[in-house]
Homo-oligomer: A and B are copies of this chain.
Amino acid sequence: MQIDLAAAPADPGVYDERKRRLVETFTKLYLRGSWRPLERLIRRLHAADAAAVLVELPVPQVVDTLQAVSDLRHAAQIVNKMPLAIRHQIVEALPHKDLAELLENFRPDDLTDLIQALPDEQRDHPLSALDAESRSELDTLLAHDPGSAGGIMTTEFFSLPEACTVQEAIEALRGYADAEMVFYLFLTGEEGRLTGVISLRQLLLAPSDAQVADVMSGRVIRVRTDTEEEQVSRLFDKYRLLALPVVDDNDVLVGIITVDDIIDVIGESTTEDMLRMAGTRQSEMLTDSVFRIAGVRLPWLFAAFLGGLGATAVIGQYEEVLAQVIILSAFVPIIIGMAGNVGVQSATVTVRGLATGAINPRDTLVMVFKELRVGLLLGAFYGVILAAYGFWVYDSLQLGQVVGLTILTNMTGAALLAVSLPMLFVRLKADPAVATGPFVTTAIDVLGVLNYFAIASLIYGL
Measuring CB to CB, which residues of chain A are less than 8 angstroms from any residue of chain B?
A: 4, 6-7, 9-12, 46, 48, 81, 83, 170, 173-174, 179-183, 200-201, 203-205, 219-224, 227, 231-233, 235-240, 242, 259-260, 262-264, 266-267, 270-271, 273-275, 277-280, 283-286, 290-291, 293-294, 297-298, 300-301, 304-305, 307-309, 311-313, 315-316, 319, 322-323, 326-338, 340-342, 344-345, 347-349, 352-353, 356, 358-359, 363, 366-367, 370, 373-374, 377-378, 381-382, 385-386, 389, 438, 441-442, 445, 449
Does B378 contact A278, Cβ atoms closer than 8 Å?
Answer: no
Does A333 contact B359, Cβ atoms closer than 8 Å?
Answer: no
Does A330 contact B305, Cβ atoms closer than 8 Å?
Answer: no
Bound-state CA distance A242–B181 (Å) is 10
Does B222 contact A278, Cβ atoms closer than 8 Å?
Answer: no
Bound-state CA distance A312–B367 (Å) is 33
Bound-state CA distance A280–B223 (Å) is 35
Copies in the complex: 2
Bound-state CA distance A340–B174 (Å) is 59
Beyond A274-B348, A280-B348, A326-B326, is A221–B6 a contact (Cβ under 8 Å)? yes
In the assembled complex, the CB of A176 is this many whole angstroms from the nearest CB of chain B, namely 10
By Cβ-Cβ distance, the 8 closest A-B pairs, closest first, are A308-B334, A329-B329, A278-B348, A311-B333, A315-B330, A270-B270, A10-B223, A240-B260
Does A12 contact B231, Cβ atoms closer than 8 Å?
Answer: yes
In the assembled complex, the CB of A70 is this many whole angstroms from the nearest CB of chain B, namely 21
Does A305 contact B338, Cβ atoms closer than 8 Å?
Answer: yes
Does A341 contact B279, Cβ atoms closer than 8 Å?
Answer: yes
In the bound complex, residues from chain B placing their C-beta under 8 Å from that of A330 are 311-313, 315-316, 319
- Nearest residue, chain B, Cβ from A294: B377
Beyond A201-B182, A267-B266, A378-B298, is A10–B227 a contact (Cβ under 8 Å)? yes
Bound-state CA distance A59–B207 (Å) is 44
Bound-state CA distance A441–B267 (Å) is 26
In the bound complex, residues from chain B placing their C-beta under 8 Å from that of A438 are 341
- Nearest residue, chain B, Cβ from A349: B284
